[in-house]
Structure 1
Amino acid sequence: MEQKRVLVVGANGRIGQKVTSKLSDKGYQVLAGSRHADNLDHDNITYVYVDLLDSVDKLVKNMQAVDVVLFVAGSGGKDLMKIDLDGAVKTMEAAELAHVKRFVMLSAVYSLDRAKVESSSIRNYMTAKFYADKWLMKNTELAYTILQPGALTEQSGTGKVTLNDGQASDNSLENVADVLVSVVGNDNTIGKVITMHDGETDIESAVKNS
């Protein structure tokens, strides 16, 4: 069976680089979507220019014959409305126009809890995530999964996590990338919002039982 074609939007970010490489290692056909081609050379990876400030029509052009869109892009707090919110929504709109079925969104723990969003020390970022996640769930027909890790760290990945306990604990970048790859390969995660942090269960088992 031919492996899925996955477009990673935000492929040059901290998570994006890791998840792009890991998907390639698993044998997926990977389209690395970014404004910058640096650091994206790898087997099974094709660089495609993706600028979230572009129109929906331009974004559609890089989604032909794509099975899964994996959205891991972010502005780093520099342009939350245009990138983290509107860029995400435009990507969803483009995915539907390109007849992509599956959409995996990297979000943040408590992004759908309005009270926690409003009291957050990074409220503007969380608000952008709130509305992007809501749009994906309520305004599209995409087969979505929303992954909500807590704080990201540079610690080495353990390969073990805890899912869906609602806690906002630390997450190694490696573990987050590995969970995203596992989500792409497990359709039981469709239609689910999954919280995560570093924990005690091996990733593949945790995702399959999520």
Structure 2
Amino acid sequence: MKIIVIGATGRVGSTVVSKLAKDSDMEIYAGARHPEKIPESPNVTPFRIDLYDTKDDIKEALPEAGRLIFAAGSGGKDLLQVDLNGAVKVMKAAEEKGLLRFIMLSSKGSLTPDLFSGKNRSPLANYLIAKYYADEWLMNNTHLQYTILQPTALVDKPGSGKVTLGDYTTNENSIENVAEVLIGLAEHNASIGEVIEMSTGNEPIPDAINHLT
């Protein structure tokens, strides 16, 4: 299977690439602004993609593949240009290129506008606003076969391999677990058109993915 990972040097994206690289049947195209930072692997092809570029430049940069995982983000440094506009440009480019299966890493609360305003608004309100409009564009302005994953807070700790999908049972997710779920979603089509809540849980990841069917 040929798969593109956008944001391949980020915390989640790099973990996705390293896990995919262990499967010799996978052909991975790892996209990043600095592809030289991507570790070498026989089945990983780094390529340069800059979310500040035009949509046409991004389209030209995208390799041919069957599936795309979008795990890029600015880390709060440039939410409009990267997390919102950059994501939308990748969606447009992917659709024009016929890369229709699109797995979006989003966040808990990204589609809950009440969290963005008022006296008790989330401390992540600006980030969630950017993700909201990116997610809304994906759902309502494209013909992509999307899945949107909404994990709770990401933490750097070993993955348990067990999660809850479709509900929130804890307030955190290990990055390793999130990477595993993104890969599982990319390998299965049962979640097309779905927005999936995710947190650490008690169900093994393969079972949780299979129960989406």
After TM superposition, is the score higher than 0.5?
Answer: yes
Q: 1:87 and 1:124 mapped to 2: Cα distance?
A: 16
Partner of 2:3: 6
- The one-letter amino acid of 2:29's match is L
Distance 1:167 1:116, change over 3 A: farther
Structure-2 separation of matches of 1:7 and 1:55: 19
Question: Out of 140, 143, 153, which is 2:142 matched to?
Answer: 140
TM-score normalised over the length of structure 1: 0.95
Segment of structure 1 superposing worse, 68-77 or 33-42: 33-42
Give the AA of the match of 1:33. G
What do the CA deviations read for 1:72-109 (whole angstroms, capped 9, x no partner)?
00001110000000000000000011111100000001
Aligned to 1:38: 37
Give the drift of 1:167: 4.9
* Identity within the alignment, %: 44
Alignment gaps of 5+ in structure 1: none
- Measured in 1, the distance between the counterparts of 2:101 and 2:183 equals 13
Point out where structure 2 has 5 or more consecutive residues left out of the alignment.
none
For 1:114 and 1:167, locate their aligned partners in 2 and report how far apart those are by CA, in whole Å: 21
Map Cα deviations across residues 87-146 of structure 1 (whole Å, 9 max, x no partner): 000000000111111000000011101112332111100000000000000000000000
Of 160-169 and 133-142, the range deviating more from structure 2:
160-169
Relative to structure 2, which stretch is displaced further, 107-116 or 129-138? 107-116
Counterpart of 1:16 in structure 2 is 13
Q: For the Cα contact (< 8 Å) 1:30–1:46, is it kept in 2?
A: yes
Counterpart contact for 1:63–1:100, Cα < 8 Å: no
Match in the other structure for 2:76? 77
Q: 1:21-170 to 2 correspondence within 5 Å?
A: 21-26=18-23, 27-36=25-34, 37-118=36-117, 119-167=121-169, 169-170=171-172
Letter in 2 for 1:133: D
Q: Is the 8 A contact 1:17 1:40 kept in 2?
A: no
Q: Structure 2 CA distance, aligned partners of 1:177 and 1:19?
A: 5
Q: Distance in 2 between matches of 1:61 and 1:53?
A: 14
Deviation at 1:25, TM superposition (A): 1.8
How far apart are the structure 2 equivalents of 1:30 and 1:112? 30
SS of residue in 1 equivalent to 2:57: helix
Describe the superposition over 1:9-55 as per-residue Cα deviations: whole angstroms up to 9, x where unpaired: 10000111110111222332111100112133123100100000001
Residue 64 of structure 1, CA deviation: 3.8
